[in-house]
Structure 1
Amino acid sequence: MSSKRCYFHPGVNSLLFGLPRDAVLRDKWVQFMFNSVPENYNKNLKLCAAHFTEDSFINLNQFNAGFAQRLFLKDGAVPSLSGEGYVYGPQPSSSQQGPSSQELPATSSICEAGCQTDSAHTETVAIQISIKMRSVGTQLSVGTLRDVHVRSKGIQATVSSQDVGTETIPMLPDIQLSSTPVRGSIFRPSKRLRLELEEEDEEKQTESEICVEPHDSTFHPESVTQESELRIDPVSNYSDKKYIVFESCLREIFESCPVCKAKCDVRQRQIGTFVAFTQLCEKCQHYRRWQSQPVVGSTPLGNLQLCAATYFLGGSFSKLQKIFKAMQLQTVQYGTFRRHARNFLEPTIIHKWNRDQQHFIQQLKERGKLAVAGDMRADSPGHSAKFGSYTLMDMETNSIVVLQLIQSNEVGGSYHVEKEGLKRCLDKLESCGLVVEYIVTDRHPQIQKYLRERNITQYYDVWHFEKAVSKKLLKLSQSKDCEVLKKWLKSIRNHLYWSATSSVSGPEKVAKWTSLLNHMQNIHVHDNPLFPKCEHQDKTTSDYKKWFEKGSVTLRKVEKITCNKRVLKDFEKLSHHFQTSRLEAFHSLVIRFAPKNVVFFYVGMLCRLYLAAMHYNENVHRPQGTTTQGQAVFKIAFPKSKKGECTAKPVKTDPTFNYVDDLMSLLLHEVIVDPTPYVEELHQITIPPPLSSDFEKPSKEDVIARHVSRFSKGVAGIQHTVQIDQETAGGSGEQHKTGRRPSHVVLSSPSTS
């Protein structure tokens, strides 16, 4: 049994349909193909799309527009057309068609596809397929490729086919290729991607190579005309593994044609971590395009993930860039990193923090009143801090509840930042319907007054109190007549913690602390009725040099430091249960995300504080590590504060970074799809003006004219000659220019400049 066979271009399997499973419908198909239903026929017969009417397809419009890779038939569709003159597939846009937009004969390589549509007596012939092709131009935005406006037009390709018999070998046509490579379906050229080259040192390509390259920046729709199209690849899972691949190894894949093994013309396109290769075999016209990573809109996904991972983990992009440069590993420029941070990463961080905070506050409402600890952290040492962040921590869960960032020029100086930060934190809790039972802080005078006015119970942290007292005692012990005090420093510290954290309060608590003076005289019976005798056993010793003499000058100096009026008043308010040590640990963690030797913008500092809080809240309850035998793991340390004393520190399990996974998922599945609502949420944050806005900015020329080196000598208004140090920049620069050592240079004072 012979049949008519349809010949199609390579890769048009999406236009072939196998016989349906339903027996009745399958008989109708076979009846159309053979004018009867033979008893025995091949069950793998296929029909092409040309034998169905347009209303037989579910997604014909999407397929013609290029948004679907294959056609799908409706249930119950039956072939009814002879198949001549029908062409399905996406066509080029007609908005820029040239004068020759008429139907052209199609020329392409042809292969046999099993479409049986004629009766048994018919000879096998090839069906001529006509394809409508038009000249298409893509308008690129101003400044995209060069400083001048460039308009790139695709070249009209003439495609033809031949009628051949069964004994004829398919002929490979000559294809005229344009600067826009053909990919995907054969019925249309690939969509041209908009490219914005803002890092000239990254892309070392010719003009013809960068026509189809994606840009690694924020896409601006208003800069692209209606005819321009962007290909959007499906977003891959961000957990896909990545590898370091050498360029020479990649080129080996594309140097030879996989069909005829001839040498191919290979072109490379690269931006950041993204690289793409186009391969064209001039012998068999085999064409292939390969890219190293998916492209979301017009942004390579790998570039975005690299920036996101660096930011979300609190890393330094400048250090990462130096590492990449040292091993010639391609990466994006700092400008690209900042654009991604501004448009995608920072809105993601702000949204996740606000969402987590709302969820945590809902849990706190069920508990009732809160016991919190508060403290401020400055971004730099001393009284010249630019930023101050105040944090409130829930004492029950040791989790960060509220975090506020204040810039010094908002409150008139860094000295007032702590009070303003506490005020904003308490206002935030009050606006959420939470009531603070008491708060544990340090002994800052402004904080004491503010909490008194707000009728909030305040307790002091024991460590801050002990640090202040120990510092004064250490200074006193360094004097010649108080050397005996050195033997008592550790005991005084232990006694302070014991008496401060005891379950008693009020006068009895103070009595335990003041009993220190009796201990230093080897007296363990006290006059205070609330604390008449020490709880420990009496110890006898023959070394009387370590005891203080009653009424001695040294003892009176110690009493003046440890038992003065303010110390006793503050000692009564020391917190006996909760302390701020966990909060100090959080401040140490912040240094990893926001080092004090790096200057950040307001939003950048706020986002890094939020990242540190997310990391801390996730790992605050990390358990201590254990050995295979179940024993707790410790490490030996020699802390500086212990003066060489060896201590054992527990070793906890490795921290987790689930919050980074949540941020990545939010970024790639929601923010990158529609960043508008997330950017609007970021813009709701009130950003104070920079510190330099308070000063008048002179012109750059005036500043340069007033610049004089601190090593220059002379009288104002008089030009003078000085010897130049050969290590200075000016001396070495002059030496390189002239090729000889400069002997002198004439300098002028600011008044004559």
Structure 2
Amino acid sequence: MFNTTSQQGSSSQEIPTTSTLHEVRCQSDPIETVATEIKPKMRSVGTQLSMGTFSNFHFRSKGIQAKLYGHDVGSETTIMFPDAQLSSTPVRGSIFRPSKRPRLVLDEEEESGLHVEPNDSTYNPDSVVTQESELTIDPQPDHSDNKYIVFESCLRELFVSCPVCKMKCVVQSRRRGTFVAFIQLCEKCKYHRQWQSQPIVGSTPLGNLLLSAATYFTGGSFKQLEKIFKAMKLQMMHYVTFRIHARNFLEPTIIHKWNRDQLNLIRQLQEGGHVAVAGDMHADTTGHSAKFGSYTIMHMETNKILDLQLVQSNEVGGSYHMEKEGLKRCLDKLESNGLAVDYIVTDRHPQIQKYLRDHNITQFYDVWHFEKGLSKKLDKLSKMKDCEVLKKWLHSIKNHVYWSANSSESGPEKVAKWNSLQNHIQNVHVHDNHLFPKCEHPDKVSRDPTKWFQPGSIALHKVEKLLYNKKVLKDIEKLSHHLQTSSLEAFHSLIVRFAPKNVIFPFIEMLCRLYLAAIHYNENANREQATTTEGQAVYKFIFPKSKQGECTAKPVKIDPTYNYVDDLMSLLLQKVFVDPKPYADELHTIPIPPPLSSKKSRGVAGTQHTVQLDQETTHDGMTTLTLRPR
């Protein structure tokens, strides 16, 4: 934040012989200067400022950067601030200088009465050196350093008295988000130094960037985090700064990592030939009023997300058409990377059926989606007065759907087993179809003879009409007999953690949050089941709402890992933040559809004029809507 310069003065103050420190690379310094010999040496470890820590003048800050200055030879340094409109008492120590690194982010206003314009440079750590050693910031900052919560009152205690003459010092502080810096000046012996709470890379405090990255990469909400910080009086940056970090650094990092991981996964699968996949769409809101629809393709054998496409409703003329467009883009992506699809398991969306049929791609239906739709009709039918006997068979019919699909190898065999239910509910267990001539259960006499359907009854007629119509038999034949989309539904549940449905996101942020969910899922897709100390598998009982009070034993998995967050942090600090241009160019290749309201016009009540709703984006990333007459 603070650049120092020494201005040669004419003051005749006595030069102490204990220690002298010479500042180089200052604008007003002569080219050749001579410094007196430095006898004592100082060393600071952490923030311990006792006299014993200054046994060596060589200064190195471990974990916390600090600037330590001795007496200037015949010179006087003064703090000067770039904003001339804000008056401040000059203090010896530093002077601001434009940063050598181009400013890429817009940080929030600094506090403590000192204002910095949005495009002004800040402290350059390379601008001040000592004769013995140079105080520099690690060119490759590491996010793995531990961070702590420190009270301001505890920090100020470290700078109250001069470590040389023990006199009371003048202390000034500055804050930018989570960053704080202190300047200490002793008016008696002219000892002064500068301390900062975190490294500054270019013009960006590293702590602010890491806080934005940790919030975004873990799928967190800045607004929720802000509430926590305000409740605890923790200092943090503004939302505008968070969005600038996201736009310039975080989102390019996510896009690059997803593209790299996706390419590596596809290359691994290319060696195995054709692949079996599952596909389904997730909408950001329920019903047919969704703005975004994300279509996901999952490799069923490895349980990994292969591709994910985000579609906005105004791209395809309405939310009903988003699923077909998403599937088309996913299949085109796999085809462009040389990955052929053997078959795909989806739901029974009519547009999906027609598209896959036209492109000669084998399609199977997910059993859960089929059983869910059929169960709703059966539940409604069982509530009728003449069909009360159906209530005793609801659970068995649902199980029969899964058994017919999973125990069969061909479509006709599935239909034959499904048709056997028509005889079974009438207590007839021998069938005319040679593919399934007899029920596989053991023969036994029922204890409740009233549970059977009577031949020619109204209940039997309605059940047969529902279960054995042409459309149901056609769907039974195409049920998936091996793999289902249950894992894909679990991924859709995970999306809600990264992109809640009650929050409206712009297109790129929504896409990045979907990619984060996919990266998290792929890392933890095949977690093992947790075991006790004796090696027994652990289960938990759940009571799903769909089962109306029936419990289910669900295996408990080991805790998920978040190694991808460390990978994103390393990529951000070591590559993207150093040179963001190639990563930003990669993000800009993604086509962004116009907002839903970009072409909407509204009439003004009571007049004959119409206006055009225009959208403008300001320099700080905020969006404004303007009504203009047409």
Deviation at 1:503, TM superposition (A): 3.1
1:233 alignment partner, one of 137, 141, 165: 137
Question: What is the match of residue 52 of structure 2?
Answer: none
Asked if residue 287 in structure 1 is aligned to residue 192 in structure 2, the reply is yes
Asked if residue 181 in structure 1 is aligned to residue 181 in structure 2, the reply is no
Distance 1:608 1:228, change over 3 A: closer
Question: What is the match of residue 458 of structure 1?
Answer: 363
Contact map agreement 2:92 2:185 (CA 8 A) in 1? no
Deviation at 1:698, TM superposition (A): 7.5
Superposed CA deviations along residues 449-492 of structure 1, whole A, max 9, x for unmatched, are 00011110111100001111111000101112211111111000
Deviation at 1:269, TM superposition (A): 0.8
Question: What is the match of residue 367 of structure 1?
Answer: 272
1:633 alignment partner, one of 527, 535, 538: 538
Asked if residue 205 in structure 1 is aligned to residue 214 in structure 2, the reply is no
Question: What is the match of residue 92 of structure 1?
Answer: 26
Distance 1:304 1:190, change over 3 A: same
Contact map agreement 1:102 1:134 (CA 8 A) in 2? no
Asked if residue 10 in structure 1 is aligned to residue 19 in structure 2, the reply is yes
2:451 alignment partner, one of 531, 546, 561: 546
Cα distance in 2, alignment partners of residues 105 and 238 from structure 1: 39
Superposed CA deviations along residues 675-722 of structure 1, whole A, max 9, x for unmatched, are 1111111111100000011213689999xxx9xxxxxxxxxxxxxxxx
Question: What is the match of residue 253 of structure 2?
Answer: 348
Cα distance in 1, alignment partners of residues 153 and 96 from structure 2: 27
2:399 alignment partner, one of 494, 506, 513: 494
Deviation at 1:205, TM superposition (A): 1.8
Q: What is the one-letter code of the residue matched to 1:493?
A: K
Contact map agreement 2:79 2:93 (CA 8 A) in 1? no
Asked if residue 309 in structure 1 is aligned to residue 210 in structure 2, the reply is no
Q: What is the one-letter code of the residue matched to 1:181?
A: G
Cα distance in 1, alignment partners of residues 353 and 401 from structure 2: 22
Deviation at 1:131, TM superposition (A): 6.7
Cα distance in 2, alignment partners of residues 587 and 319 from structure 1: 23
Question: What is the match of residue 246 of structure 1?
Answer: 151
Question: What is the match of residue 413 of structure 1?
Answer: 318
1:580 alignment partner, one of 485, 491, 504: 485
Contact map agreement 1:274 1:302 (CA 8 A) in 2? yes
Contact map agreement 2:78 2:93 (CA 8 A) in 1? no
Asked if residue 436 in structure 1 is aligned to residue 341 in structure 2, the reply is yes
Deviation at 1:92, TM superposition (A): 2.1
Q: What is the one-letter code of the residue matched to 1:314?
A: G
Task: Calculate percent identity across the aligned residue pairs.
Answer: 64
Superposed CA deviations along residues 125-184 of structure 1, whole A, max 9, x for unmatched, are xxxx997979999895xxxx47x6x899xxxxxxxxxxxxxxxxxxxxxxxx954625xx
Q: What is the one-letter code of the residue matched to 1:10?
A: S
1:357 alignment partner, one of 262, 283, 295: 262
Distance 1:306 1:11, change over 3 A: farther
2:300 alignment partner, one of 395, 402, 406: 395
Superposed CA deviations along residues 191-224 of structure 1, whole A, max 9, x for unmatched, are 6769998645xx44234xx67xxx9x7xx6xx66
Distance 1:401 1:525, change over 3 A: same
SS at match of 1:673: coil
Deviation at 1:91, TM superposition (A): 3.9
Question: What is the match of residue 722 of structure 1?
Answer: none
Higher Cα Rg: structure 1 or 2? 1
Contact map agreement 2:292 2:311 (CA 8 A) in 1? yes
**Within-5 A mapping of 1:502-541:** 502-541=407-446
Q: What is the one-letter code of the residue matched to 2:113?
A: T
Cα distance in 1, alignment partners of residues 481 and 249 from structure 2: 46
Cα distance in 1, alignment partners of residues 32 and 337 from structure 2: 70
Asked if residue 478 in structure 1 is aligned to residue 403 in structure 2, the reply is no
Contact map agreement 2:288 2:319 (CA 8 A) in 1? yes
Q: What is the one-letter code of the residue matched to 1:533?
A: K
Cα distance in 1, alignment partners of residues 595 and 576 from structure 2: 28
Contact map agreement 1:373 1:579 (CA 8 A) in 2? yes
Deviation at 1:365, TM superposition (A): 1.0
SS at match of 1:336: helix
SS at match of 2:428: coil
TM-score (norm 2): 0.81
Deviation at 1:519, TM superposition (A): 1.4
SS at match of 1:693: coil
Contact map agreement 1:393 1:402 (CA 8 A) in 2? yes
Question: What is the match of residue 510 of structure 2?
Answer: 605
Distance 1:233 1:697, change over 3 A: farther
Question: What is the match of residue 751 of structure 1?
Answer: none
Aligned CA-pair RMSD: 3.4
2:234 alignment partner, one of 317, 324, 329: 329
Deviation at 1:428, TM superposition (A): 0.7
Listed as ranges, the gaps of 5+ residues in structure 2 are: 1-15, 42-70, 129-135, 612-630
Cα distance in 2, alignment partners of residues 644 and 109 from structure 1: 86
Superposed CA deviations along residues 283-331 of structure 1, whole A, max 9, x for unmatched, are 2222121111111111111111111011000011100100111111111
Q: Which moved more, 1:359-368 or 1:499-508?
A: 499-508
Contact map agreement 2:125 2:200 (CA 8 A) in 1? no
SS at match of 1:288: strand
Cα distance in 2, alignment partners of residues 585 and 654 from structure 1: 16
Contact map agreement 1:461 1:579 (CA 8 A) in 2? yes
Q: What is the one-letter code of the residue matched to 2:24?
A: P
Between Structure 1 and Structure 2, how many residues are aligned? 553
2:372 alignment partner, one of 467, 489, 494: 467
Deviation at 1:576, TM superposition (A): 0.3
SS at match of 1:609: helix
Cα distance in 2, alignment partners of residues 448 and 112 from structure 1: 85
Question: What is the match of residue 67 of structure 1?
Answer: none
Deviation at 1:260, TM superposition (A): 2.1
Q: What is the one-letter code of the residue matched to 2:227?
A: K
Superposed CA deviations along residues 374-395 of structure 1, whole A, max 9, x for unmatched, are 1011111111100001110011
Q: What is the one-letter code of the residue matched to 1:591?
A: V
Q: What is the one-letter code of the residue matched to 1:596?
A: K
SS at match of 1:582: helix
Contact map agreement 2:99 2:202 (CA 8 A) in 1? no
Contact map agreement 1:9 1:109 (CA 8 A) in 2? no
Cα distance in 2, alignment partners of residues 469 and 318 from structure 1: 43
Cα distance in 1, alignment partners of residues 365 and 586 from structure 2: 37
Cα distance in 2, alignment partners of residues 644 and 420 from structure 1: 39
Deviation at 1:646, TM superposition (A): 2.1
Question: What is the match of residue 563 of structure 2?
Answer: 658
Contact map agreement 1:324 1:330 (CA 8 A) in 2? yes
Relative contact order, CA 8 A, sep 6+: which one is greater? 2
Q: Which moved more, 1:304-313 or 1:279-288?
A: 279-288
Distance 1:361 1:477, change over 3 A: same
Cα distance in 2, alignment partners of residues 386 and 410 from structure 1: 10
Contact map agreement 1:593 1:612 (CA 8 A) in 2? yes
Distance 1:360 1:302, change over 3 A: same
Superposed CA deviations along residues 491-529 of structure 1, whole A, max 9, x for unmatched, are 001111111111331322201001112111111011212
Deviation at 1:539, TM superposition (A): 2.0
Question: What is the match of residue 60 of structure 1?
Answer: none
Distance 1:269 1:365, change over 3 A: same
Listed as ranges, the gaps of 5+ residues in structure 1 are: 1-6, 13-87, 95-100, 115-128, 153-176, 183-188, 707-753
Cα distance in 2, alignment partners of residues 633 and 340 from structure 1: 43
Question: What is the match of residue 161 of structure 2?
Answer: 256
Cα distance in 1, alignment partners of residues 33 and 262 from structure 2: 65
Cα distance in 1, alignment partners of residues 111 and 127 from structure 2: 23
